[in-house]
Amino acid sequence: MDFGLDEKDAAIIAELCKDSRISVQSLAKTIGFPRVTVHDRIKKMQAKGIIDHFTLVLNRVKMGMPLHAFIQATYDRESWQKSQEDRRDVAKAICQLPYVIKCHIVTGDWDYLIEVVASGMDTLGDAILDSLTKLQGVGRTHTMVSFYDFDGPSRILG
């Protein structure tokens, strides 16, 4: 997938996705472009916001969090009647919970799709019962545990 990039930018990004710590010189050698060209193109993609930032990805299993799950949750309007808060504020509160990777506000029968990790089913259960469902604005929940995950070509768009 080229994402509207030219061949050189696409090659640079493909290599940076494999190893964002690679030196510009090593990257240039790997893809066969001059070092200055690679350096300038990376700087231009950063300036345009195409490359947002460089990061690392932790191995959640080796970090003791092998369980990966998704929780659907509803927005409980009644618990917010006395407040000016809205769905966005509830999502921000959800994101403060330590096991949450990301919270999406979504369409359909559910209001939130929450991606979480945990050390095991009991820990996940405790987290849902003791913290998530006690947050003001969170209604019903439905949890789906992921057995496996696979990356698609657009994974770099995060």
Q: How far apart are CA 77 and CA 81, in angstroms?
A: 6
Q: How far apart are CA 138 and CA 32, in angstroms?
A: 53
Same domain, 93 and 142: yes
Residue 153, domain member (yes or no): no
Cβ neighbors of 85 (< 8 A, separation 6 or more) are 136, 137
**What is the domain range of residue 17?**
7-47
Q: Is 111 left (phi over 0), alpha (psi -120 to 50) or beta?
A: alpha
Average pLDDT, the chain: 91
Residue 95, domain member (yes or no): yes
What's the domain count of the chain?
Answer: 2
Domain at 101, CATH number: 3.30.70.920
Q: What tokens were used for 132?
A: 């998530």
Q: Note if the pTM is more than 0.85.
A: no
Confidence of residue 83 (pLDDT cuts 50, 70, 90): low
The pLDDT tens digits for 32-67 are: 999 999 999 999 999 999 999 988 889 999 999 999
Same domain, 42 and 74: no
Residue 13, domain member (yes or no): yes
Same domain, 85 and 27: no
Q: How far apart are CA 89 and CA 83, in angstroms?
A: 11
Residue 103, domain member (yes or no): yes
Same domain, 42 and 104: no
Domain at 27, CATH number: 1.10.10.10
The pLDDT of 92-106, averaged and rounded, is 97
Helix 7-18 with 24-31: angle, nearest 10 deg: 120
